[in-house]
Chain A
Amino acid sequence: MIAYHRPRKLEEALAIRAAQDVAVIAGGTDVYPAAAGRRAWGDPTHKDVLDITSIPGLDRIEETASGWRIGCLVTWSALGRAALPPLFDGLKAAAREVGGVQVQNRGTIVGNLITASPAGDGIPNLLALEAQVDIAGPRPRQVPLREFLTGYRATALEPTEILVALHVPRLDGARSGFVKLGARRYLVISIAMAAGVVAADATGRIAEARLAVGACSAVAQRLPALEAALRGVAIREAAEVVQADHLAALSPIDDIRASAAYRRGAALTLLRDLLRGLA
């Protein structure tokens, strides 16, 4: 029998985490499919479950002095409905592309991070937003997202910890976008995707650009060389700056969805499309 814990306090949840190996569940949109996949080939076992959805206060989006705090129970749909500045347009676009509406209504942005799939639609956006993660545990800590994501479906979250919120820093005048490529219109795992945050000065020149590509490496990646090349470029001309060299650090693979070579080419196109969309 699988034990099911549904505490009403974060401290209780952390105590359970500290005491035993549990699967943390919020929206369940990754937990159940993974269990079904294992069960189908003869492994019906499952860890005990820690359901954190009864803990109050974790489902809010709050504006803070330095930016926005997104609680770990905020769903894609809730984010999509929230009144947020254009900085979040990319993440909001992703919110409409993750799974179907049912998954958007249940799945959380933080859950997408913790699953840490290379094709997680939230991840390139949050990298471009330079999100930090708030971790509760024996030693509460705040970690930049790029350090939190450590590899293919791997994160820095310790078994004793719970990721309670994201913090997205303010970037005045910034806009963002997200483009996703899949083999069908809806309900599709990304072949490749690109997300970007761009802040321009009064003359329309790029003051800061942060770009990330997903599904083209074990962990979605920022593109520092491209970002540097874009600094000072008129935003209308930004798309022309993107070159294949800027994607050298990506390491796409061949899989059922696409070839590595295609992904590399597609990433280039998606970045150009993204920047055109932001111009």
Chain B
Amino acid sequence: MIAFTLNGRHVETDAAPFAPLSDTLRERLGLTGTKVGCEAGDCGACTVLLDGAQVCACLVPTAQAEGARITTIEAEDPLVEQLRAAFLAHGAAQCGICTPGMIMAARDLLTRDPTPCAPAVEEAISGVLCRCTGYRKIVDAVLDAVPHATPMPSAGGAVGAAVARLDGAPKVAGTDRFGADAAPPDALWLRVVRSPHASARFTLGDLEAARRGLGLQAILTHRDVPGINAFGIMPNLKDQPVLAEGLVRFRGEAVLALVGERAAVEAVRDGDLPIAWEPLPALHGVEAALAKGAPQLHAHAPGNVLVRGRLTSGDADAAQSAAQAEGAFETAFVEHAYIEPEAGYAEPTQGGMTIVACTQAPYMDREETARVLGVAEEAVRIVPTACGGGFGGKLDVSIQPLLAVAARAVNRPVRVVYSRTESMASTTKRHPAILRARMAADAEGRFTAYALDADFNTGAYASWGPTVANRVPVHASGPYRVPNVRNRTRAVYTNDTPAGAFRGFGVPQAAIATEALVDDLAEQLGLDRWEIRRRNAIGHGDVTPSGQVLHASAGLPECLDALKPVWDAMLSRVAAHNTSATRHRLGAGIACMWYGCGNTSMSNPSRMRVVLGRDGTLTLFNGAVDIGQGSTTVIAQICADALGLPLSAFRFVLGDTALTHDAGKTSASRQTFVSGRAALEAGRDLRRKILALANAGEDATLALSGATLHVADRAGGGRSIDLAALASDLEGDGRYDPPTTALDEEGQGIPYATYGFAAQCALVRVDTVLGTVKVEEIVAAQDVGRAVNPTLVIGQIHGGIAQGLGLALMEEFIPGRTENLHDYLIPTAGDVPPIRVHLIEDPEPEGPFGAKGVGEPALVPTAPAILGAIRHATGVRVTRVPVLPHRLWEALHVRQG
């Protein structure tokens, strides 16, 4: 037995002495507040205090806890309590998966230094990675010794209030349940055996003998899939097998599923399994896949082209121009790097299956799982756990079909927890892109034409490749008036990791090309880079390249105007600095973006239900999955004001396919806009019913006390409704599907009901000798329609900027090479600079209280703004991201000749 003091109490455990302390805390002692993100000391999610000092519990042998004091997020401790309150008040917890580790790291600091400065905070939390917040709000929270939360608003005052996220308390307490945090006690464990080859055939030997020899309950192959052994995002394109059938198309593809007791499953060496591999030549990158004579990876995709996208307006070739710019650009695979690897469990039910797992898209998971099981969709229930970051990567199913097949085969609950490497090697990425673009302007700097040819590496399976190929042509020319546009895209199959959805669906890649060309044109015409953007900024009444008139909520001109003083100040600062600086040069960059909210030209409805019970409870049945962005809070704020009861009166039933309506997936920046609007309709519907019941006018006010609802009209009259005396609960129902039209062959139509707009300025410091780039400041202006919750909106913008910074400077997933979080780099607390945000509110009439989507847009302009700043500092026009130091150094080297 190993004995130690855990949060002030004596504990003893019979855990294996070499078992990591993180595992002992979670699986033996039941304290799941300590999260596991990498098992390698790279992410810090498992940070606990060992005799007062922060350590990664995944690196501590349980034996070494003997006699020690271990403190975890579950501790009752005044400093921890203060940090919890501060994290809530500052919006420092988004998804919450890094929060326990962050709080413990901060606790370590505050014990040693009760009044730290910001750099000390950054250093103290530098070993904990956060993918949601961009760190600045975390630093603010740690610095704030006496946090003051925004009070809960009264009835009618919810929209616009910076209230702390309603689901935040369990996140800062460490009690939120993520995918790996709970499972039935009798659950067996699943481990997936994956291909070490990018392309290979394989044959399987005597699996039954192997199963017996290894003490497993089952070794599953594709033959054990009861329904159809295929899944995929597109309705007509289910091209990825749950378990491969004799052929694998990427390194990391699932081949076998091992099911058994945890120890037995974890002890299996892949080398002891009867798999005979015959490696085949692999197609890495789109050039190889498009080469003449390249093997065809899928029967349905001649030439390995999965899909083509297209948009034509005017004549991009014939347009007259005074200035022309063109270029070729290249971007890398980008990993979502959510700190929570995929995890969850499946539990067989009578004739069906319940899946409890982290996800962004419960209803799509249900559809996919049902097909794989060969059962009706209604037989499958998806219960989302808290989601420790998604960013698009948890839109596709990953563990769900495997768990369902396994649980069906053994007729017992089965759980799985992906390792960091397994998550990175097997789940989707941002599409690498090769972009060739040209752009033209007249002598006044007005854009006349834009053309793009872009190839996106969609990897071995389709996933969201078609979405990227279709979204990019609409957006590629940027948020500008361009009369002549010709865009062509292809999504190309390769033997690389499947690429899918990632915050922006290809638009960030295209923006890197387009914004560089805008800078080229400004340079050629001698125009200021802000000026050329302002002259061309699309606004009210303008027509987009798809022929859509922007009737409302098009606030890019206002965004740019808000940034003008910032831009001028940055330029002055750069000029003053660079006159005397030779090695460390400053540079300023600016970029714009637009982003259509919701699916491209496809129905994507959401339905919400709000119930005022006869017992006086007010419950919002909200099927939208909050992956940290705050939809649970925002949708409730909208519903509260639509109904006219205070936000504090609400209870929630969230995202369970058996209990809530389909709110669609959490993607495409659609939840605030689409589900928010549905919540508005639901709130209004309930309000109408109440007013009818009370025979009250539109302007009546509502108040709830116990099971009595008071309805007062302006004149001072009113009545009380005894809810308990009603025949049934009162229900409000709301549905919304944004109005769009199909795009024709030339990409003309109304692909989105509304668009978000933003501009950002970046200031960078470049060490021109070493080629390193430090981002000094980012200033963002974003038209959000209406900031339903300014804290959460700003949180989304910060987080998007941090990911954009990573895209620009450090992130490059290389299959087989950067499958962990020490070789794959995401920004740390020391890499994200101070961020200032100007919120522009040009209301969207379709949106709830004028709101529209904010999640993805903030990421889009960051990388091009940083690249523009690097160019300003050095003269190097960057055409490949990430701009790793050696790449910039090589470019500088070439220039110096």
Q: Which residues of A contact B (CB under 8 A)?
A: 1-2, 4, 6, 25, 27-29, 32-33, 36-37, 39-46, 49, 51, 53, 77, 96, 99-103, 105-106, 181, 183-189, 191, 256-259, 261-263, 265-266, 269
Contact = CB atoms under 8 A, between A and B. Distances in A.
B39 A106 contact: no
B127 A100 contact: yes
Given A33-B40, A40-B422, A101 B123 contact: yes
B55 A258 contact: no
A42 B269 contact: yes
A191 B890 CA distance: 15
Interface residues of B, number: 71
A183 B885 contact: yes
11 contacts: A33-B41, A41-B196, A41-B270, A42-B270, A49-B18, A102-B54, A181-B772, A183-B885, A187-B126, A262-B886, A262-B889
Nearest to A27: B59
A265 B269 CA distance: 43
B196 A102 contact: no
Please list the 3 inter-chain residue pairs (A to B) with the smallest Cβ-Cβ separation, ordered nearest first. A100-B127, A42-B270, A185-B830
B41 A99 contact: yes
Contacts of B267: 44
Output the residue of B123, B127, B771 with the most chain A CB within 10 A: B127
Given A4-B17, A183-B884, A189-B822, A77 B419 contact: no
Given A99-B127, A184-B827, A258-B884, A32 B39 contact: yes
Interface stretch (B74-82, B147-155, B671-679, B811-819): B811-819
Given A41-B421, A102-B56, 12 more contacts: A36-B421, A37-B820, A45-B269, A101-B105, A106-B59, A181-B770, A183-B809, A186-B831, A187-B127, A262-B886, A262-B889, A263-B886
Nearest to A186: B126
A2 B18 contact: yes
A102 B16 CA distance: 22
B771 A184 contact: no
A43 B20 contact: no
B878 to A, nearest CB: 15
A198 B818 CA distance: 38
A40 B59 contact: no
B784 to A, nearest CB: 30
A256 B60 contact: no
B64 A51 contact: yes
B258 to A, nearest CB: 10
A186 B422 contact: no
Contacts of B59: 27-29, 32-33, 102-103, 106
Contacts of A44: 266-269
B397 interface: no
A110 B594 CA distance: 53
A105 B55 contact: yes
Contacts of A96: 123
A6 B18 CA distance: 11
A76 B452 CA distance: 52
Contacts of A6: 17, 63
A105 B41 contact: no
A103 B44 CA distance: 10
Given A2-B16, A36-B421, A186 B127 contact: yes
Nearest to A185: B830
A36 B40 contact: yes
A277 to B, nearest CB: 14
Contacts of A45: 269
Contact of B63 (A46, A51, A77, A187): A51
A106 B422 CA distance: 26
B825 interface: yes
A187 B828 contact: yes
Given A45-B269, A102-B127, A183-B810, A262 B18 contact: no
Nearest to A5: B17
A99 B830 CA distance: 13
A258 B40 contact: no
A186 B17 contact: no
A27 B55 CA distance: 10
Given A184-B830, A265-B889, A101 B814 contact: no
Contacts of B61: 4, 25, 28, 49, 51
Interface of B: 16-18, 20, 38-42, 44, 47, 50, 53-56, 58-61, 63-64, 105, 108, 122-124, 126-129, 193-194, 196, 266-271, 419-422, 425, 769-772, 809-810, 812, 814, 817-820, 822-823, 825, 827-831, 884-886, 889-890, 893
B270 A1 contact: no
A105 B54 contact: yes
A256 B56 CA distance: 26
A119 B772 CA distance: 19
A103 B41 contact: yes
A90 B825 CA distance: 25
A35 to B, nearest CB: 8
Contacts of A181: 770, 772, 885
A184 B128 contact: no
Contacts of B127: 99-103, 186-187
Contacts of A53: 64
Contact of B822 (A33, A106, A185, A266): A33
Contacts of A266: 770, 885, 889
Nearest to B767: A269
A49 B41 CA distance: 19
A101 B825 CA distance: 17
Contact of A102 (B18, B47, B266, B884): B47
A53 B885 CA distance: 39
A185 B193 contact: no
A105 B53 contact: yes
B487 to A, nearest CB: 33
Contacts of A33: 39-42, 59, 820, 822
Nearest to A41: B196
A263 B885 CA distance: 10
Contact of A106 (B60, B271, B771, B829): B60
Given A40-B819, A44-B266, A46-B18, A100 B128 contact: yes
Given A101-B105, A101-B126, A256-B818, A43 B269 contact: yes
Contact of A32 (B20, B63, B772, B829): B20
A77 B55 CA distance: 11
A183 to B, nearest CB: 5
A256 B812 contact: yes
Contacts of B893: 265
B812 A32 contact: no
Contacts of B814: 256
Contacts of B20: 32
Given A6-B17, A102-B56, A262-B885, A186 B829 contact: yes
Contact of A37 (B56, B63, B421): B421
Output the residue of A29, A185, A191 with the most chain B CB within 10 A: A185
B123 to A, nearest CB: 7
A106 B50 CA distance: 10
A277 B129 CA distance: 31
Nearest to A259: B886
A183 B825 CA distance: 8
A29 B769 CA distance: 33
A103 B56 contact: yes
A100 B122 CA distance: 11
B271 A39 contact: no
Contacts of B194: 41-42
A40 B419 contact: yes
Contacts of B105: 101-102
Given A33-B822, A185-B828, A187-B42, A101 B124 contact: yes
A102 B124 CA distance: 9
A3 to B, nearest CB: 9
A155 B591 CA distance: 52
Contacts of A256: 812, 814, 817-818, 823
Given A29-B59, A103-B127, A105-B53, A184 B421 contact: no
B421 A106 contact: no
